[in-house]
């Protein structure tokens, strides 16, 4: 299957070609033709599956070919609701990327930043608004935006919006929309609450489910260490240094924990920043930009802050603390091994987290192999073994090679055990 078979117009195909995507992902192949027909869609797809393009490309086509009216001043024709500021910004940037050869106007609307520039963008006229529900309602309340011309509504990561308590805000927003419209609901999980929302929102939807959440992230090699809470930090530092990880996203359960860990890493000479809901939007954007550019080595994040982060080819994710909700584990490791790339997800499991690990394994219907703990960092370095949870060897492009040009051999604990056997 190629993009040219999906019925997309030349301007969109040209923008996609510029992205060098080899072919449509399964969600794109299935959802795009259905959305182009104007049908409602209930899509089960998590981040990393190419879901953003799956709704953005056909939405841009419908808006540009006259199927859903024409430019309407400050009454947008399409609305995308997203749970977090980061996700809203990312979706908007995808719209700009894919829509670069079309004359459509879009803007992102979210809290934590000044409202006036958002008002000005709306006043200049707009086709597509990507918004978090709270700030959107503020603007509706101030009569800065008129939602009565919305023809296409997208709920992106709807399950997360419900988890974050947005259901009332979503219902309020729905109250401002015209009755006749196309609805697209994207959700990584299919809970009873999502089903209820879908039943009330969607009109004879086509169901598109590309990947069951439990088989997500096939390309991610997962492993775990049973480690005392007090030794987690040293283990993480050892993994980063000895594995020569050039980039890693580390998850903690709390904002405070994220801050503390980032500070400790910096004290030990590892460039790290924390992102979480208490950080200003500017600080979060800066940290994310540094991480994407590769100038920041470690990003320590809470689940909500990391939700929907679009970071390409992230090689390592560490669960410094396991999430309370097993589904969050799937979201977390979805940050690595994206779009066919191989990635590695390492979990540090304290005594009080063994139960959580079991819950995760039950959800995945798969065992996450436990690794033997490496010798301590305080050991002489010539004795310390490198640890690696992959069975397949991955080669980091930035790994230094010895002067003779050969690739340094990284000995895994399995290798070591074999050597001693």
> Would you tell me which residues interact with ligand AMP (CB under 6 A)?
21, 24-25, 28, 47-53, 310, 312, 338-339
Distance CA 188, CA 323 (A): 17
> Which SS3 state, helix, strand or coil, does residue 126 take?
coil
CB of 8 to ligand AMP, least distance (A): 12
Please say whether the beta carbons of 154 and 57 come within 8 A: no
Query: Under 8 Å CB-to-CB from 271, ≥6 apart: which residues?
Result: 265, 295, 296, 297, 298
Phi then psi dihedrals of residue 80, to 5 deg? -110, 120
CB of 271 to ligand AMP, least distance (A): 23
CB of 101 to ligand AMP, least distance (A): 17
Angle subtended at Cα 57 by Cα 198 and Cα 185, rounded to the nearest 5 degrees: 10
CB of 277 to ligand AMP, least distance (A): 21
Q: Of the two residues 47 and 238, which places its CB atom closer to ligand AMP in the complex?
A: 47
Query: Under 8 Å CB-to-CB from 4, ≥6 apart: which residues?
Result: 13
Please say whether the beta carbons of 330 and 160 come within 8 A: no
Please say whether the beta carbons of 239 and 346 come within 8 A: yes
Distance CA 350, CA 322 (A): 9
Please say whether the beta carbons of 46 and 36 come within 8 A: no
Please say whether the beta carbons of 248 and 320 come within 8 A: no
CB of 90 to ligand AMP, least distance (A): 7
Q: Of the two residues 151 and 331, which places its CB atom closer to ligand AMP in the complex?
A: 331
CB of 240 to ligand AMP, least distance (A): 24
CB of 216 to ligand AMP, least distance (A): 11
Helix/strand/coil (H, E, C) string of 215-245?
HCCCCEEEEEEECCHHHHHHHHHHHHHHCCC
Q: Of the two residues 24 and 315, which places its CB atom closer to ligand AMP in the complex?
A: 24
CB of 5 to ligand AMP, least distance (A): 13
CB of 210 to ligand AMP, least distance (A): 10
**CB pairs under 8 A, 24+ apart, for 95-99?**
95/56, 95/60, 95/128, 95/130, 97/15, 97/19, 98/12, 98/15, 98/16, 98/53, 98/56, 98/57, 98/60, 99/12, 99/15, 99/56, 99/60, 99/64
Helix (H) or strand (E) holding 12: helix 10-18
The number of residues in the chain equals 421
CB of 186 to ligand AMP, least distance (A): 9
Residue of closest CB approach to ligand AMP: 52
Q: Of the two residues 181 and 338, which places its CB atom closer to ligand AMP in the complex?
A: 338
Please say whether the beta carbons of 291 and 250 come within 8 A: no
Sheet holding 316-319, edge to edge: 272-275, 298-301, 248-251, 316-319, 343-349, 220-226, 370-371
């Amino acid at each position: 299957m190629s993009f040219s078979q999906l019925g997309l117009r030349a301007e969109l195909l040209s923008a996609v070609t510029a992205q060098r995507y080899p072919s449509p992902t399964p969600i794109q192949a299935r959802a795009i033709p259905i959305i182009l027909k104007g049908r409602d869609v209930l899509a089960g797809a998590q981040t990393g599956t190419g879901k953003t393009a799956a709704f953005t490309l056909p939405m841009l086509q419908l808006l540009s070919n006259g199927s859903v009216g024409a430019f309407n001043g400050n009454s947008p024709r399409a609305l995308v609701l997203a749970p977090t500021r980061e996700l809203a910004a990312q979706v908007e940037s995808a719209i700009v990327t894919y829509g670069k050869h079309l004359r459509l106007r879009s803007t992102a609307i979210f809290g934590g930043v000044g409202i006036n520039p958002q008002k000005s963008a709306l006043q200049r006229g707009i086709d597509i608004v990507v918004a978090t529900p709270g700030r959107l309602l503020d603007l509706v309340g101030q009569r800065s935006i008129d939602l009565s011309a919305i023809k296409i509504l997208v709920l992106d990561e709807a399950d997360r919006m419900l988890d974050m308590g947005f259901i009332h805000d979503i219902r309020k927003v729905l109250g401002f929309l015209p009755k006749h419209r196309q609805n697209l609901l994207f959700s990584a999980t299919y809970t009873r609450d999502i089903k209820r929302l879908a039943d009330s929102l969607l009109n004879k939807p086509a169901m598109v489910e590309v990947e069951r959440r439990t088989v997500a992230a096939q390309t991610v090699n997962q492993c775990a260490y049973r480690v005392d809470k007090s030794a987690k930090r040293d283990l993480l530092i050892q993994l980063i240094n000895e594995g020569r990880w050039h980039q890693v996203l580390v998850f903690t359960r709390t904002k405070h924990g994220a801050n503390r860990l980032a500070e400790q890493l910096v004290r030990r000479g590892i460039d790290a920043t924390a992102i979480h809901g208490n950080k200003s939007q500017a600080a979060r954007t800066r940290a994310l930009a540094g991480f994407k550019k590769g100038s920041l080595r470690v990003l320590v994040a809470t689940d909500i802050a990391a939700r929907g982060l679009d970071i390409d080819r992230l090689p390592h994710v560490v669960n410094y603390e396991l999430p309370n909700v097993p589904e969050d584990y799937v979201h977390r490791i979805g940050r690595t091994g994206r779009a066919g790339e191989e990635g590695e997800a390492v979990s540090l499991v304290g005594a009080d987290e063994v139960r959580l690990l079991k819950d995760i394994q039950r959800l995945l219907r798969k065992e996450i192999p436990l690794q033997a703990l490496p010798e301590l960092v305080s050991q002489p370095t010539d004795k310390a073994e490198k640890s690696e949870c992959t069975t397949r060897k991955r080669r980091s492009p930035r790994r230094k090679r010895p002067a003779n040009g050969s690739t340094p051999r990284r000995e895994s604990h399995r290798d070591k055990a074999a050597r001693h056997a």
